[in-house]
């Protein structure tokens, strides 16, 4: 098993455990699978989703996920994934 498929399996398992709902397709950002577990941890570390939205902390989240800052719609995409 390569590292990418292992990461996908962990992401799918994480979403299933957190929501009780399996995901049919993995979210993609910057041509790679979005690490939902890391996204969750980054958001929780900043007080949760409401705080991240109200305090406009999406740029910190984007940096924490090592996404290119050139993605102008990254904050919107992260909220809607």
Give the chain as a 3 state SS string: CCHHHHHHHHHHHHHHHHHCCCCCCCCEECCEECCHHHHHHHHHHCCCHHHHHHCCCHHHHHHHCCCCCCCCCHHHHHHHC
Helix (H) or strand (E) holding 29: strand 28-29
Contact status, residue 35 vs residue 55, Cβ threshold 8 Å:
no
* CATH number of the domain within which 43 lies: 1.10.150.60
Q: Which domain holds residue 13?
A: 3-80
pTM: 0.68
- How many structural domains does the chain have? 1
Kindly tell me if the per-residue pLDDT of 5 is higher than 70: no
Percent of the chain with pLDDT over 90: 11
Q: Give tens-digit pLDDT for 10-37.
A: 555 666 666 666 667 778 888 888 888 8
């Amino acid at each position: 098993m390569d590292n990418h498929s292992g990461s996908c399996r962990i992401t799918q398992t994480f979403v299933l455990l957190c929501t009780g709902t399996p995901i049919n397709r993995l979210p993609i950002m910057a041509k790679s699978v979005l690490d939902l577990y890391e996204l969750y941890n980054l958001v929780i570390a900043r007080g949760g989703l409401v705080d991240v939205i109200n305090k406009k902390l999406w740029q910190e989240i984007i940096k924490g996920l090592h996404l290119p800052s050139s993605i102008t719609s990254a904050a919107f995409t992260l909220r809607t994934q």
